[in-house]
Amino acid sequence: RMAARLVARPDILAVRRETVEHPFGSIKQWMNQGAFLMRGLEKVRAEFSLTALAYNLRRAITLIGVPGLIRAVQA
């Protein structure tokens, strides 16, 4: 089914690479987070949640700056 979907829409894989996989590559590179440090599903979920929060804060600061982020949090 996947091969048929790719034949029907060959551009979709490039879109996925640009949008979905970028955060994970950035997390691995910027934060040196190649593998989880914790074991167990609950602990891994917590670790990933903290990593995603750090990534999102870093992206927000990059996009709107610290003053913009502070204004957004206060609103």
CA 57 vs. chain centroid, Å, equals 11
pLDDT of residue 67: 94
pLDDT of residue 22: 79
Handedness of CA 27, 32, 35, 37 (dihedral sign): negative
What Å distances lie between residue 15 and 9, 21, 51, 55, CA to CA?
Answer: 11, 10, 24, 21
Q: Compute the distance between CA of residue 53 and CA of residue 33 in angstroms, rounded to an integer.
A: 14
pLDDT digits (tens, 9 = 90+) for 8-54: 888 888 888 778 777 887 888 877 777 788 899 999 999 989 988 99
pLDDT of residue 15: 84
pLDDT of residue 13: 82
What Å distances lie between residue 41 and 32, 35, 38, 52, CA to CA?
Answer: 21, 14, 9, 16
* Across 2-11, average pLDDT: 86
pLDDT of residue 26: 80
